[in-house]
């Protein structure tokens, strides 16, 4: 199952501006807790500021599907009638485990705390992986953003 998604920088930025009610790059940068020139710098390099976007979406309860993919109804993440092969399910499980291990490794937390976070966050990240077309970058951003709140 190849679910590679190519994100269009301008489309994502325009959806963010609309959803957050911002008109300029400078105002959007502030809404994303970036420096005033943050969006302009990102535009120049055509590199989306994924972590600030995910953090803001989580804080504002904005759908990542809507911002990154343009889906307003969650149709891409409706899994009720979707069948996955065993290999696909194992792939998602391994991807989420790897993301969690890499993210937690940098936290230098006691092992019992890591286990507790892993156990709590893993099901949510698996759900997020399916909701975001198995995009590892988005799953990692969600994990990092969530762990900033811990």
DSSP collapsed to 3 states, 69-126: HCCCCCHHHCCCCCCCCHHHHHHHHHHHHHHHHHHHHCCCCCHHHHHHHHHHHHHHHH
pLDDT of residue 55: 81
Band (pLDDT 50/70/90 cuts) for residue 24 is very high
pLDDT tens across 48-75, in order?
A: 888 888 888 888 888 887 888 787 654 4
For residue 10, give Cα distances in angstroms to 19, 28, 47, 68.
Answer: 14, 13, 10, 11
Report residue 99 as tokens. 């993301």
Measured between its terminal Cα atoms, the distance across the chain in Å is: 33
For residue 79, give Cα distances in angstroms to 36, 82, 91, 121, 132.
Answer: 39, 5, 17, 20, 11
Is pLDDT at 35 greater than 90 in this prediction?
yes
* Sign of torsion over alpha carbons 119, 88, 49, 54: negative
pLDDT tens across 68-126, in order?
A: 878 765 444 444 445 567 777 788 889 999 999 998 887 888 888 888 888 888 888 88
Q: What is the pTM of this model?
A: 0.52
Length of the chain: 150
pLDDT of residue 73: 52
pLDDT of residue 77: 44
* Domain regions of the chain by residue span: 9-75, 79-148
Contact 138, 68 (CB under 8 A): yes
């Amino acid at each position: 199952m190849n679910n590679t998604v190519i994100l269009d920088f301008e489309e994502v930025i325009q959806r963010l501006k609309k959803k957050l009610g911002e008109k300029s790059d400078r105002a959007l940068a502030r809404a994303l807790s970036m420096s005033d020139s943050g969006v302009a710098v990102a535009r120049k390099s055509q590199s989306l500021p994924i972590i600030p976007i995910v953090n803001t979406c989580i804080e504002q309860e904005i759908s990542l599907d809507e911002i990154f993919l343009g889906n307003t109804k969650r149709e891409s993440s409706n899994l009720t009638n979707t069948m996955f092969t065993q290999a696909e399910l194992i792939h998602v499980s391994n991807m989420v485990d790897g993301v969690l291990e890499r993210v937690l490794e940098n936290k230098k937390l006691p092992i019992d705390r890591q286990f507790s976070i892993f156990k709590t966050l893993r099901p949510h990240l698996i759900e997020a992986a399916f909701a975001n077309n198995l995009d590892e970058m988005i799953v990692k951003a969600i994990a990092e953003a969530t762990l900033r709140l811990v």
